[in-house]
Amino acid sequence: MGFIEEIKRRRTFAIISHPDAGKTTLTEKLLLFGGAIHVAGAVKSNKIKKTATSDFMEIEKQRGISVATSVMGFEYDGYKVNILDTPGHQDFAEDTFRTLTAVDSVIIVVDAAKGVESQTRKLMEVCRMRNTPVMVFINKLDRPSKDPFDLLDEVEEELNIKVRPLSWPIGNGPQFKGVYNIYNKGLYLFTPNQQVLDEGINFSDVNSPAIEEYISKDAADVLREEVELVEGVYPEFKVQDYLDAKLAPVFFGSALNNFGVRELLECFLQIAPTPLPSQTESRLVNPDEPKFSGFVFKIHANMDPNHRNRLAFVKVCSGKFERNTNYLHVRLGKNMKFSSPTAFMAQKKSIVDEAYPGDIIGIPDSGNFKIGDSLTSGEKMQFKGLPSFSPELFRYIENADPMKSKQLSKGIDQLMDEGVAQLFVSQFNGRKIIGTVGALQFEVIQYRLLHEYGASCRYDAINLYKACWLKTDNMEELQDFKKRKSQYMAKDKSGRDVFLADSSYMLQMAQNNFKNIEFHFTSEF
């Protein structure tokens, strides 16, 4: 197969949602179709012994939530599918924001009983900023849920995007009979607690009386009426509108019961975008360029706790990546070759000899990579769009076991490289400060330091409002500012000056008094 054909058959997407909407369950069912796994696991660790494939960290299995993005690839029907399952919990939103820079499209999962929730709104804003095409899967139809028209109104209003249903539910909860696929004109009947996949029954016309052989006359009448309403109220589905991120196709189903998932997958593979161009600081990089380029969007320490290994996740943007070939690490300015790049199936890895645009590869890392680093065939360029956000919660981190200070220091270093949280060193008293976007991250850091590095830590309270990165051409004013605010100055992991304001009033005063200094709330400026 030629280079261009390889690019065209790739689909790289993220699944995002509010916690508990069924995102990881949907991922599991998609993997089941690709033959990548043979038994789907449940996410809730107390209900079933087999945990979800994409939740592989010990803390995820215990809590029954995803705390890190996991990457999975499989082949289906001639397509190469790369799924990134993201954490839904808002405390890990930063990992999700970064993941969205590495995908070409997104599937949003919405709980049919709860509708659109706050975290979904936030993530949709990131998709809108990047013009990422989205598809919506309304899940848990086998439970009592809201009226489908109300759900569609809510999706339009809350996510600020036009919708077009491509499948339609027949009842919900105990009365859930199945879905009618508007896109390919098929009826799919639901059998509770059955994981077997029914082949759809083709009906080119929903008004055909033969439908009543499969569902009751009343249910068929309601379905006809509602499908007619859908055709009249919602815009005609045009693939280009979806690709331009102006319209979101909507599917209904129940991921837990493997229902409606195949229709979603098959339509998605037909219409979803192939790998898209990537923006660098100097130019736009097209996937079909012959020379290799890619960027690191995630680093994960201890994928295998027995070996203390780190992996840098690289998104291939152009050209063909080949094993044992020299590539330029742009930030360090040196050539590197990789003998064991890997492809993923959550934590199961296999060595790959080559990868194409759209693929995600894992490169074993001994500390050379940071999030946002570029790898190229020689061209010096820096990919854009991988910021660190200003943390909202801060604590001093202290060593709880003096015998393990080396392990603690190494652990903090590696976890901060992952982007789990940010480390600041106070210039006033030399103490280390951890900044996060959510309280749960402190717990995850403490847990992972203990279980992965054998180091125990404790936290001390510190009252801070915001971390700001500083930028100015007026060095005299910057020195004056640093002198006056010396007890609030810190350095981040890259050695840049950071101002830690303890209140919004203090920040406002600083901005008013030092007009030549820019205060930035993301590290990318």
Structure tokens at 329: 């690490």
**Is residue 364 located within the same domain as residue 244?**
no
**Is residue 509 located within the same domain as residue 465?**
yes
* Mutual angle of helices 217-233 and 148-159, in 10-degree steps: 30
- pLDDT for 10-42, tens place per residue? 999 988 887 777 777 888 888 777 665 544 444
d(CA 60, CA 65): 5
Can you give the pTM of this predicted structure? 0.78
Contact (Cβ atoms closer than 8 angstroms) between residue 263 and residue 251: yes
- Give the range among 115-129, 142-156, 252-266, 363-377 with minimum mean pLDDT: 115-129
* Residue 79 placed within a domain: no
pLDDT at 214: 76
Is the predicted pLDDT of residue 482 greater than 50, yes or no? yes
Smallest CA-to-CA distance from 416 within 493, 361, 308 is with 493
* Residue 384 placed within a domain: no
d(CA 366, CA 183): 49
d(CA 451, CA 308): 11
pLDDT at 152: 93
d(CA 163, CA 393): 37
- E strands, 51-175, are 70-76, 79-85, 105-111, 134-139, 162-165, 167-170
Parallel/antiparallel/unpaired status of strands 457-461 and 497-501:
unpaired
> In 10 A of CB 104, how many CB atoms?
23
Q: How confident is the model at residue 204 (pLDDT cuts 50, 70, 90)?
A: low
Contact (Cβ atoms closer than 8 angstroms) between residue 40 and residue 129: no
**Is residue 252 located within the same domain as residue 119?**
yes
d(CA 115, CA 125): 17
Q: How confident is the model at residue 508 (pLDDT cuts 50, 70, 90)?
A: very high
* Residue 94 placed within a domain: no
- pLDDT for 126-145, tens place per residue? 788 778 999 999 998 888 88
pLDDT at 42: 40
Single residue among 350, 376, 402 that ends a domain in this structure:
376
Smallest CA-to-CA distance from 472 within 515, 417, 411, 422 is with 515
Torsion over CA: 301, 304, 307, 312 (sign): negative
**Is residue 134 located within the same domain as residue 226?**
yes
Structural domain span for residue 215 = 13-68+104-271
**Is residue 457 located within the same domain as residue 355?**
no
Please tell me the total count of domains within the chain. Answer: 3
**What single string gives the DSSP state of each residue in 356-403?**
-TT-EEEEEESS---TT-EEESS----B---PPBPPSEEEEEEES-GG
Structure tokens at 53: 């494939």
Q: What is the CA radius of gyration of the chain?
A: 25
CATH of the domain at 43: 3.40.50.300
- Give the range among 159-173, 208-222, 435-449 with minimum mean pLDDT: 208-222
- Give the range among 90-104, 155-169, 318-332 with minimum mean pLDDT: 90-104
pLDDT at 368: 85
**Is residue 247 located within the same domain as residue 316?**
no
**Is residue 345 located within the same domain as residue 398?**
no
Is the predicted pLDDT of residue 194 greater than 60, yes or no? no
pLDDT at 64: 46
